[in-house]
Every structure is written in structure tokens, then in C-alpha cells.
Amino acid sequence: MQNFLKKTDAIISIIIGLCIGIFFFIILKTIGLEIPYRWLLIVLFPPAALVGMVLVSWLGRRFLFILQAGRFVLVGALNTFVDLGVLNLLIFFSGISYGILYTVFKSIAFLMATVNSYYWNKYWTFGKKRKGFVPGEFSKFLVTVAIGFGLNVGIASLVVNILGPQFGISAEAWASVGALTASLFAWIWNFIGSKFFVFKA
């Protein structure tokens, strides 16, 4: 493990796993989904994230792309739970889970997840050493984010407001289904845009 897993990768993956577990716990509580022993999520996600990072580090010994993709997926998972967590908190406090305010809430949640994404991906996933504001890089990031924002919010709003709740799922839970569906499409775009356009790593 010492030969291919960096100490910082191990620590960061555990921290991200813990954050994901906490957000997941909050989301389940907010949407009212009662799962026995759901507190175990907070305990189980950190070692699961570490095991995933060990595997990716081992596979990435020869191909940096694999290591970057693994880090990106882990950061993307955190971003998804930041997105869902903020969205569900806004829905919980407002009592509104559809319509134009859902689109506003989803936009706020997406923007918060995007800020989180920028810093984790810049300094960890793609290992950029230069600190602070980089004008060209930031403008490219804004273009990538604008496209990702359109995909994310557009797909989520389509699933929630046009398709509507399916399979007997509550409107509150369906709001998270819409957000998760949008996130899957946005992940693909965000990795391609970040790797080849923003950070060129």
C-alpha cells in the first residue's frame, strides 16, 4: 500500500467518505426514509472511500488518467451529496418540492456543489500547485460550469417538473431522483471539461 497510495490520498479519501456519510444521513432523514441503523452510513463510507482509493491508486500506477478519474469520481460523489443535501435542506425548510422554486433551489444547490468541486479538483484531482486566482483558468472553469449548470438544472427540472413522480415515489423523494439523474450526466461533462479544457492535466 505504501508503494502506490499517497498519505494525502488516504487522508482525503477518508475525509470525503465521512462527509458523504454525513450528507447521506441528513438526506435520508430529510426525505423521511427510515432505514434501520442509518447512522452506520457515517461509519461505513470513510473506509469504503479508502478502499476505493487504494484500488484506484494501484490501477493508476501506470496511467495517471485512472488515478485522476478515481479522484474525480470520489469528489463527484461528494459534490452529488452536497448538491442533494443543500437541495433537501431547502425543501425541508420551505416545504416546497416542485415548480419554479424547485428550480431556484436546485440552482443554489448546484452552485454550492460547483464551488466545492472547483477546489477539490484543482488542488487534489488534477494537482495544480499554483494557488489563488488564475484568470484564464477561472474563465474556462466558468464556461465549463455554465454548460454543466445547464445540463444539471435542465435535466433535473425536466425529470421533476415534466416527467413528475413515478413508481409511487413521493414528490420530496422524486426531487432527489431528478437531482441524482442530472448529476450522472453532469459528471461525464465535468470530467471531460476539467481534464482537457480547464486544468489540462
Residue pair 179/83 in contact (Cβ under 8 Å)? The answer is yes
Neighbours of 19 (CB within 10 A): 20
pLDDT at site 1? 44
pLDDT at site 2? 47
Q: Which residues of the chain have pLDDT under 50?
A: 1-2
pLDDT at site 12? 92
pLDDT at site 129? 66
Burial class of residue 57 in the structure, from the number of CB atoms within 10 Å of its CB (0-12 exposed, 13-18 middle, 19+ buried):
buried
pLDDT at site 47? 94
